[in-house]
Structure 1
Amino acid sequence: MELKDAVAVVTGANRGLGRHLAAQLTQRGAKVYAAARRPETVDLPGVTPLRLDVTDDESIRAAARIASDATLLVNNAGISTATPLIAGRLDAVRLEMETNFFGPLAVTRAFTPVIEGNGGGAVLNVLSVLSWLHPAGLGSYAAAKAAAWALTSAAREELAPRGIAVSALHVAYMDTDMAASVPADKKVDPAQVAAQALDGIAAGLPEILADDTTRYVKQSLSGAPSTV
């Protein structure tokens, strides 16, 4: 997909990876709707702040009406509550699934006719190495991201005839607020991840693996669970 003159909607664009994606899309010549639950927190020059709460259906529908010229959707918004599936609070598990799975699904459903009506385009879902690696302490996040991986694969097949390519970005721990409490030795620069993601969209890649940890885990999937 040609990013120059594309019209992008980036969810969770007020901080972290989403902010880098929105900024770099602008630098590449795209028009950018920088979506956030509180659009007043978007401080990037050259973007259009857009109110969008991925857990609020009316907010999603309103955003799709405003960004009616969109050709690219980046489903980046997400949360992590560090909740285990068995011992953790069920409402926290539900919140992660609502935000990290049902949110991208609802936003994609709302923007599919928009993107198709504008001649086609692309969707990028920001996933995680934890789509495949499922540590107990992050069980709810991993389960939601695994579900989002399935969503991405199924949507790719469903939307291809409508002229919409669907890509997945998988990345391990980035140097962002979400991973601040994770004692990972190597945290990836989110600016570099954003650049890889946009290069992948431009090249039409169905899957973008942003770091060595993610590539290693993906290669290990055919082994026994204890080796992943």
Structure 2
Amino acid sequence: AITLLLVAWPIFLAGVQFATADIAGGLPVSFRDLFRRATNIWPRMARLSLFVYGSFIFWTALPLVAILSISRGEPSLLSLLLALLALAVQVYMFGRLFINFLFWQQSATIGGLEGAEALRDSKELARSRVGAPMLERPMYRGALLASIWLLVLLAFSVAVELPFLIVRLQGITTFEDAATMARNLANAPAPDVMTIATYVLSSLVHALLKPLLGITFVLLYFDAKARR
């Protein structure tokens, strides 16, 4: 399943970009044509995906490892400052990567650029319009859209999972009862019907909402290109 996901993910990303661009341009959308174009650039998207996601994972994990290493020692003011410094580095690098990679998917698909050229175009486009008001600059618009999408995703996830949680908590009156229920779920040989239903509905919601972020970024890409 993981191998299939790794193979299909670059095709999915490219397909979303091409489909949105075709619809925005008033062109007919053909699944066969989208699949053909997406598979043609699979090596490019796979390499870029590996680099982009790998960069995020590396700069997220490295400060966490540093913080965990620091926390194993004796608590002190120095260790606290070092942990805060590692956390600040993590936040800074995540923000920097987010800006630099803002349009990497669009540059590699719609823009037709390879590797380093796509990343360079993404960085330059994200950081363009320096003198414009904040909400008219691509990087801030991208951050705002991503934040709104994340809030929508969280809201839908809560709306899907909360009813199942309420049903599970019926009859639970103490913390010990809740802990016992959690242990029973964790030690169950197989997930029960409610767990499976929650997982299926949550996965469906995520699958429906994930393309929306790509669609909004394609439109933002076109807008940023037009205003550049």
TM-score scaled by length of structure 1: 0.27
**Higher helix proportion (structure 1 or 2):** 2
Q: Which has the higher contact order (CA 8 A, sep 6+)?
A: 2
**Higher strand proportion (structure 1 or 2):** 1
